[in-house]
A and B are shown apart, each in its own frame.
Chain A
Amino acid sequence: MNSPIAMANALSTNDLARSAADIIADARKASVRYDEKIVVAGHSSAIHVENVSKRFANHQALADVSLSFGAGQLTALLGPSGSGKTTLLRTIAGIEAPDKGRVLFGDEEVTWRPIRLRNVGFVFQNYALFEHLSVYDNVAFGLSVKKTPRAEISARVKELLERVELGNLAHRFPRELSGGQRQRVALARALAPKPRVLLLDEPFGALDARVRRELRTWLRKIHEEIHVTSILVTHDQEEAFATADRVVVMHDGKIEQVGTPAEIADHPATPFVRDFVEPRHATAR
């Protein structure tokens, strides 16, 4: 595999056969609104990671990682703990800065751009909801810090809460909600300011198995409605295969294999992937 762009172009879905520029042009022509049930990959960036390395104290978290994430795709970073998947996600978000390498959103380099200027949505494993604010205020936060007019905030928050099926809980507080409900609020909150990229760090890790399964189906559904470029970090193979268009298997700070769930399950490229991934777990979607 040569350049990241070539990699991106060689990958699966039809949408990505076209370049990002084409999609933007089409979207503009069709005057699509971001929040309608239409592919709006133009508003959502492709992500390119080039030769990124990151070291913590005595542990090499990422070793010369290069990867591309197609605009509008949901990619899973799958691997055991310590594989570097969370570090990669946080580097893309700006929570960490790489020692070497670059991060690009589309054509813009964002490697050391401050977090708040990257326009990323981030969903934490432990929700990180603002405990002193109601559900409504949590979701509205990204809009109110940009001084959006109140009517606009109200419309958008209501719409998002409907989408995550929490419309009637707008005035509750996070401590009154279950884990699954909290994570849905976190997702609505992340989506409210229309991020170009959505990053999820083991979002269902703190939830019990049944809730996890419900939410993963539901996350996939949301993704189909709002095609924002998404990266999902998980150590749960089922979860990765069930939700993602494309899976990246990581180990020891390096990429082991990139491909669709079927490709990875049926044709493991390295011994690690063969051992880590149990075959026939790829559920056809």
Chain B
Amino acid sequence: MTARAATNEALWVRVLLVVIALAFLTLFLFIPVGLVFGEALSDGLATYFAALTDPDAGAAIRLTLITAAIAVPLNVVFGLAAAWAITRHDFRGKGFLVAMIDLPFAISPVISGLVFVLLFGAAGIFGPMLAEADVHIVFAVPGIILATIFVTFPYVAREIIPTMAAKGRDQELAALTLGATGFQTFFRVTLPNARWALFHGVVLCTARAVGEFGAVSVVSGHIRGETNTVPLHIEVLYNEYQLTSAFAVATLLVLVALLTLVAKQAVSWLENRRVVA
């Protein structure tokens, strides 16, 4: 991956362009992100750690992790199933399936949460039924999990489908001629070949599950200590003018985001290192 050796612009043009680009990024990226840390630490380290170890913050972290731990594996299973159907078979309606997978991308997060309120909220379609059974989905943890599943739905599938499609079906066909069953083929040939793309997809899916705000905000009810994920907890703190604490908790998510980027780069690097020309 080399840049073209011979660029024909004059040096001053090049320098100018780089400076402008860097200025743009500084303004819109570096300063805001840096400020998160700046504000978080503005009252000193003690306050910083206090905000992180606060019981409500702890509950929020736990809820976020549980949500991700449920949503991501389910979407992995779905992603693999969808990828197998789409890339290893021909059938009518494949385009429809692909379009359905793309759907959550086209929908605003708020709408993603809204649909579950419409289904399970007090005045929703199943509302009265649920009230009778004393089952709480909206304004409770199950609703948060559902909304998260909805928004993170496509990530794994969209990472592995192009990779699997590009690899072609020959290896699976070879395995079948050698006597492998469908399951043997899937676990011994397909899955190992897709592992980098799968890992990529899991990383993205998890990052999104952890950071989702809009959809979860709609279904959660913002009940402190119970139905707040970490992003919601930040919002609550912010709205209560506990700015330092809000930023302190936000630094956690920034670190997760940076970790995500590092993981992505690491996977790409590992993957390319094993490929010999």
The answer on direct contact between A and B (beta carbons under 8 Å) is yes
Instruction: Give chain B residues whose Cβ lies under 8 Å from the Cβ of A95.
Output: 173
Interface-forming stretch among B81-89, B122-130, B179-187?
A: B179-187
- Check B276 against A193 for contact (C-beta < 8 Å): no
Contact residue among A129, A132, A146, A176 (Cβ-Cβ distance under 8 Å from B179): A146
Contact in complex: A193, B179 (CB < 8 Å): yes
A145 touches B276 (CB 8 A): no
Assess whether B193 is interfacial by the CB under 8 Å rule.
Answer: yes
Cβ B170 vs Cβ A142 within 8 A: no
Known: A93-B177, A115-B176, A141-B178. A175 touches B274 (CB 8 A): yes
Report the Cα distance A30→B123, complex, angstroms.
Answer: 84
Contact status A190-B177, CB under 8 Å: yes
The DSSP consensus for interface residues of chain B is helix
A122 touches B193 (CB 8 A): no
* A contact residues around B275 at 8 Å (CB): 175
Question: Considering only CB atoms, which chain A residue lies closest to B184 in the complex?
Answer: A145
Report Cα–Cα, A190/B170, bound state, in Å.
Answer: 14
Count contacts on B: residues with CB < 8 A to the other chain.
20
Contact partner of A141 among B180, B181, B195, CB < 8 A? B180
A114 to B182: give the CA distance in the assembly, Å.
11
B93 interfacial contact with A, CB 8 Å:
no
The one of B178, B193, B276 in contact with A132, judged by C-beta atoms closer than 8 angstroms, is B193
Pair B176/A116 contact, Cβ less than 8 Å: yes
Knowing A142-B178, A142-B179, the reply to whether A115 touches B173 (Cβ < 8 A) is yes
Contact assessment for A128 and B180 in the assembled complex, using a CB-CB cutoff below 8 Å:
no
Task: Give A212 to B179 CA distance when docked, in angstroms.
Answer: 29
Instruction: Digitize A87-131: 1 where CB-to-B-CB distance is under 8 Å, 0 elsewhere.
Output: 000000111000000000000000000111011111010101111
Q: CB distance A116 to B181 under 8 Å?
A: yes
Taking CB atoms, residues of chain A closer than 8 Å to B193 are 130-132
Contacts of B171 in A (CB 8 A): 128-131
Also in contact, A145 and B178, with CB within 8 A (given A130-B189, A132-B192): yes
Closest beta carbon of chain B to A94's beta carbon, Å: 8
Q: Once the chains bind, are A128 and B170 in contact (CB under 8 Å)?
A: yes
Kindly state the separation between the CA atoms of A121 and B276 in the bound complex, as whole angstroms. Answer: 28
**Closest CB of chain B to A141's CB: distance in Å?**
5
Chain A interface mostly = loop
A121 contacts B175, C-beta separation under 8 Å: no
Q: Quick check: is A189 within 8 A (CB to CB) of the other chain?
A: yes
For B195, what are the chain A residues with a Cβ–Cβ distance below 8 Å? 132
A176: chain B residues within 8 A (beta carbon): 276
A153-184 CB contacts (< 8 Å) to partner B: 175-176
In angstroms, Cα B189 to Cα A120, docked, is: 19
CB contacts (< 8 Å) of A119 on chain B: these are 179
Given A130-B171, A132-B192, does the pair A189, B274 have CB atoms closer than 8 Å?
A: no
Q: Using Cβ atoms and an 8 Å threshold, which residues of chain B touch A121?
A: 177-178
Q: How many Å from the CB of B1 to the closest CB on chain A?
A: 19
Q: How far apart sit A195 and B177, CA to CA, in the bound complex (Å)?
A: 9
23 contacts between A and B (CB under 8 A): A94-B176, A94-B177, A115-B176, A116-B181, A118-B177, A121-B178, A122-B177, A124-B174, A126-B170, A128-B173, A130-B174, A130-B188, A130-B189, A131-B171, A132-B195, A133-B192, A141-B175, A145-B180, A175-B276, A176-B276, A189-B178, A190-B177, A195-B177
Q: Which residues of B contact A (CB under 8 A)?
A: 170-171, 173-181, 184, 188-189, 192-193, 195, 274-276
7 closest residue pairs by CB, A with B: A142-B178, A128-B170, A132-B192, A115-B176, A128-B174, A122-B177, A145-B180
Additional A-B contacts beyond A128-B174, A130-B171, A145-B188 (14; CB < 8 A): A95-B173, A116-B180, A116-B181, A120-B177, A121-B177, A128-B171, A128-B173, A130-B193, A132-B193, A145-B179, A175-B275, A176-B276, A190-B178, A192-B178
